[in-house]
Structures are given as C-alpha cells and as structure tokens.
Amino acid sequence: MTVSFEYPVVFTNGVFSPERTQFIAVLSRREPSRRHRAFFVVDEDLVKARPELIDSIRLYVRAHALRLELAADPLVLPGGEAIKNDPDAIARIHAHLHEARLDRQSFLVAIGGGALLDAAGFAAATAHRGMRLIRLPTTVLAQDDAGLSVKNGVNRFGKKNFIGAFAPPFAVVNDLDFLRTLSRRDTIAGMAEAIKAALIRDADFFSWLDGAVPALSAGRPEALRHMIVRSARIHLRHIAQGGDPFELGSARPLDFGHWAAHKLEPLSGYRLRHGEAVAIGMALDTLYSVRAGYLDPEPAERILTLLTRSGFQLWDETLALCGCDGRPAILDGLAEFREHLGGELTITLLKDVGEGFEAHAMDESLIGDAVERLQKIHAARHDMGAVELHEAADVRS
C-alpha cells in the first residue's frame, strides 16, 4: 500500500493585502466553490510588532467572503518556547476549536515563529484526529526549516518535542515581509538551520553563505530570501525524496548538531534559542569530527569562523554543567536523542563541508575534548579581542 501526501509551499509578499490571491488560492484549492471556515492563531510578539495585522486579516477575509469566513476572532497567544512549555496551551487552543465548532475540513491558520507553529500544529493534528493546518511562518528559522516540516509538538519533562505528531500541513505560505520586524537576534538564530543544511548537503551553498554573512546578519531582504529559498529546497527535498518523511527509521540526517542542541535548550532554561543551540551543537560536532579523524582541521576552521562571523556565541556555560553523577550534563543528550528517534543511536557528523554521514557511536572522552576546545577558543577570543578570527578558531591545538 502507498499513501501519498502533497502540500504547496508558496513564497509571497504582503499576503493579506486584499488583492493578493495566493492565500485564498491555496486554501480553497480542493473545493474552490465552498465557503471555508478558518480559525487564526497568531504569535503575540508578532502582533505587538505589527499591530495592524489582526485588522488586515479581518479585511482580507471580508474581501474574499465568498470563499472564506472567520469561525471566531483570531486567538493571539504568547509565542516563543514558552508556548511549547505551557502545559495548558494545547488545551486552550482545543477549547477554542470546540467552541467555534470547527470541523475536520475547517482550517487552523497558524501565524508565527517555529514554536507557535509547532504548538498550534499539534493542536490541529489532534483535534478531530487532524484538521487542516496552514502555516504562515514569520521568523527566518520558521521559513527556512520549521514551518515547512511534517512535525508538530510541544516540550514535556524537560525534553524537547516529547509530545507531538507527524502531520503534513495543508499548505505553507512564506511571506518574507513578516521578517521586517524580526529582531537581529532571531534573524541570526534562523541562519543556523540554513548553515546546517549547507554543511551536510551543499558545499556551494556554504560558500555562498560565507560571502553573504554581512548582508544576512544585517537582515538584508534579498540575501535572506536567497538563503531561505535554498534552505527550504534542501529541507523539502529531504522530506519528499529522502525516503523516510515520518522518521520511521533511526536516522535523522538533517539534524546535524541537534543531539547537543536539544539538550542545551532545556539545560539553559530555554534562555538559548533553538538556532543558537544548534550553532553550538554544530561547532561541537565539527570539532568532534576532527578529533575522531573524520574531518580535516581546515574545513573545520572555516565552519567555526563562519558561525562566529554570523554572530553566534559558540560557548555557553551550560556546556560545563555536570549531572548528579558528575558527568557532563550535555552527554545525556545522546541517550535522549536516541530515545526520541528509537532504534540504534544515529548521529550525523561531517567528512567535509557539504558532506554529512551517519555515525552510530560517539566517544564521550572525545566529546569532552571538543567541549574543552570550544571553551579555549571562546577564552582566546575574549582575551585577544580583535585578533583574527581564524587564529582564534584554530581547531588543532
């Protein structure tokens, strides 16, 4: 038996300008003559940054009243990791879906960062056993990775995405105008997933990123657009053609740097953004790849230098935390990563820029060496101030 899924990923600007038709076109593509009911869940910080957004949605729906109606007033919820850590958030969304009497063919339209999309997506996946979900990602990370995916979920027991569901969205609409109000911190954080995709799959993309760092970290729209489209393509190709969209096997080849990142986020009390933790995790696994003899020091230096030039801090005090058994707390991330995926431990490491491969064991003492090296690089950078980055990033000593 074969079961196939399809969902469009549309790039646009000014999605809720009344004359724009991309949103209404994807929403009504299966039943063009029906008047669809939709319930919007919107990220609070986005609404604070764009106070006119809710009115634009109302006006848009009114302009397309033949095909679309609001089932209830848009629900504005605090976004960021807080929504994934709030045990009541899903119940609250479900209560609204119930009160507005949405049926399985109605739409939940989620607008926000990756965290809000993950939480609202899980609520949609579990109401009526799966309602239609349209995602409008509004951060760089959500547009170049999270918003495109078939995964939804929230955090529990100090573990990322412990509760969740695989459920492909009905559609994804990437409106680059949303990025105009994004903080510099979140613009940079979103670069981590694009750098990750380049590192494991596409050396040319890595070279492009290397040249575009100043424009990207300054939030220049044309550079961000290029990066997001290329990263989105790599992620979508993996989902559509990678052979395991619902991760039934133990491998997660796109999750370079993630075993450590998923542990660093809760260890930091979610002070670290996902993208920031991924940057540290990639630096760690890059140094590990060198220590284990898989990767030459020269490409490793280029990787660490690119991450640092992009604005990432590659050292965080959580790397030095120890658990009650005296072992570095970060090491628990390996077992938790394996548990989340099931089966044999499978970690993506690097052979070269653009060339990831799967390893099934990591040596704890070499991980310790890599952590120590990151701390030394950090201390050297701190002491030397403006010294050339590549000297500070020397991975050999």
Ligand X SMILES: NC(=O)c1ccc[n+]([C@@H]2O[C@H](COP(=O)([O-])OP(=O)(O)OC[C@H]3O[C@@H](n4cnc5c(N)ncnc54)[C@H](O)[C@@H]3O)[C@@H](O)[C@H]2O)c1
Contacts by residues 303-306 (CB-CB < 8 Å, ≥ 24 positions apart): 303/199, 303/350, 303/353, 304/377, 304/393, 304/395, 305/389, 305/390, 305/393, 306/195, 306/206, 306/209, 306/210, 306/213
Closest approach of ligand X to the CB of residue 387, in Å? 31
Does residue 186 bind ligand X (CB under 6 A)?
yes
Does residue 141 bind ligand X (CB under 6 A)?
yes
The pair of structure tokens assigned to 301 is: 């230096």
Comparing CB distances to ligand X, the nearer of 147 and 299 is: 147
**Helix boundaries (H) for 271-387:** 274-291, 297-310, 332-341, 364-384
Closest by CA to 197, choosing from 251, 234, 239, 142, is: 234
Q: Say how far residue 81 (Cα) sits from the centre of its chain.
A: 12
Contact pattern for ligand X over residues 347 through 386, marking x by CB under 6 A: ----------------------------------------
Comparing CB distances to ligand X, the nearer of 5 and 32 is: 5
Binding positions for ligand X, 297-336, rule CB under 6 A: none
Which range in 142-150, 196-204, 283-291, 337-345 contacts ligand X by CB under 6 A?
A: 142-150
Does residue 54 bind ligand X (CB under 6 A)?
no
What is the distance between the alpha carbons of residues 315 and 290, in angstroms, rounded to a whole number? 18
Which range in 7-15, 184-192, 212-220, 350-358 contacts ligand X by CB under 6 A?
A: 184-192
Closest approach of ligand X to the CB of residue 79, in Å? 3
Kindly tell me which residue out of 22, 56, 105, 181 binds ligand X, with binding defined by CB under 6 A.
Answer: 181
What's the CA dihedral at 270, 159, 91, 172 to 10 degrees? 80
DSSP string, 33-49: TS-EEEEEEEEHHHHHH
Closest by CA to 292, choosing from 303, 301, 284, 304, is: 284
Residues 114, 147 contacting (CB under 8 angstroms): yes
Kindly tell me which residue out of 45, 276, 301, 336 binds ligand X, with binding defined by CB under 6 A.
Answer: 45
Comparing CB distances to ligand X, the nearer of 138 and 174 is: 138
* Residues binding ligand X: number (CB under 6 A): 32
Contact pattern for ligand X over residues 200 through 229, marking x by CB under 6 A: ------------------------------
CA separation (Å) from 381 to 109, 268, 298, 313, 355?
45, 22, 19, 11, 28
Comparing CB distances to ligand X, the nearer of 93 and 395 is: 93
Does residue 187 bind ligand X (CB under 6 A)?
no
Residues 93, 84 contacting (CB under 8 angstroms): no
Does residue 257 bind ligand X (CB under 6 A)?
no
Which range in 9-17, 181-189, 329-337, 359-367 contacts ligand X by CB under 6 A?
A: 181-189
Q: How many CB atoms lie within 10 A of CB 392?
A: 21
Closest approach of ligand X to the CB of residue 321, in Å? 20
Which positions lie near ligand X, rule CB under 6 A?
43, 45-46, 49, 79-81, 84, 112-116, 118, 138-139, 141-142, 145-146, 149, 151, 160, 178, 181-182, 186, 189-190, 273-275
